[in-house]
Amino acid sequence: MSIDLTVMYAAHDAFRRDLERLGKAAADGTAFTPSVRSGWANFTCQLHIHHTAEDSDLWPRVLRAVEGRPADIALLAEMEAEHARLAPRLDAVDRTLTTESAELPALVHALAGTLDDHLAHEEASALPLIQEVLTPEDWGAFTGRIRRTQGLRGAAVFVPWIVDGIAPADRAAFLGALPPPVRVLNRLFWEPGYRRRGLWGS
């Protein structure tokens, strides 16, 4: 049985979308508004949860499964190294948003390039490896780790954040991968609450 990576790909797309929004805000002079700062704070929170769970749970599971396979072990080391390379770029953007520096557009561009390179590498190499060597039970344990970290309060932000502005077909695919009670909660409570926050000025 294959692993359903719908939610993983949707999260990657949401990270890319948020940095596009920040880049646009940096270019048009609205990056220092409260709504954009709130959007950035949510982006960094979601990325931290995502990468921490990968480093502490997902990559170790894959590493155990590829024992004796040097190329795959090297790939997992690259995933962790790419996470580490993102940290100073995230910090630089965070500082610049605080100081309202004119360097922001260039720093956002650098961050977006580094993150997109990592996500593309993960999608091209690491996710197919996950499909090859992990079981659905392994994947369920990993996603369960994220759910426990997020909790119900975090899920109430994560789900509407993912579907914020995405194409109808992608929205349907993502929501279809979630349990029916979660879809009901999102429709009745979570999305309306998320929209009221007005992240990114939406």
41: pLDDT strictly greater than 80: yes
Percent with pLDDT over 70 in the chain: 100
Closest CA to 195 of 156, 150, 139, 143: 156
Indicate the average pLDDT of the chain. Answer: 96
Alpha-helical regions (H) of the chain: 6-28, 34-53, 59-65, 70-99, 104-121, 127-133, 136-163, 168-176, 180-185, 191-197
Question: If you average pLDDT over residues 129-142, what whole number do you get?
Answer: 96
With beta carbons less than 8 A apart as the criterion, state whether 14 and 119 touch: no
pLDDT at 117: 98
* Encoded tokens for 103: 């360097």
- Give the per-residue SS3 of 85-126: HHHHHHHHHHHHHHHCCCCHHHHHHHHHHHHHHHHHHHHHHH
With beta carbons less than 8 A apart as the criterion, state whether 163 and 191 touch: yes
Question: If you average pLDDT over residues 158-171, what whole number do you get?
Answer: 97
pLDDT at 54: 97
Question: If you average pLDDT over residues 108-128, what whole number do you get?
Answer: 98
For residue 18, give the 3-state DSSP assignment: helix
Percent with pLDDT over 90 in the chain: 96
163: pLDDT strictly greater than 90: yes
Q: How sure is the predictor about 18, in pLDDT bands with cuts at 50, 70 and 90?
A: very high
User: Could you read off the pLDDT of 61-115 as tens digits, one per residue?
Assistant: 999 999 999 999 999 999 999 999 999 999 999 999 999 999 999 999 999 999 9
Closest CA to 84 of 52, 46, 39, 120: 52
Give the other-Cβ count within 10 Å of 131's Cβ. 12
Q: How far apart are CA 129 and CA 36, in angstroms?
A: 36
For residue 193, give the 3-state DSSP assignment: helix
Domain boundaries, the chain: 6-151
Does CATH number 1.20.120.520 belong to domain 6-151? yes
pLDDT at 202: 72
Residue 132 CA, distance from chain mean position: 22
* Encoded tokens for 164: 């914020």
21: pLDDT strictly greater than 80: yes
pLDDT at 2: 87
Report the chain's C-alpha Rg in angstroms: 17
Question: If you average pLDDT over residues 182-187, what whole number do you get?
Answer: 97
Q: How sure is the predictor about 1, in pLDDT bands with cuts at 50, 70 and 90?
A: low
With beta carbons less than 8 A apart as the criterion, state whether 18 and 47 touch: no
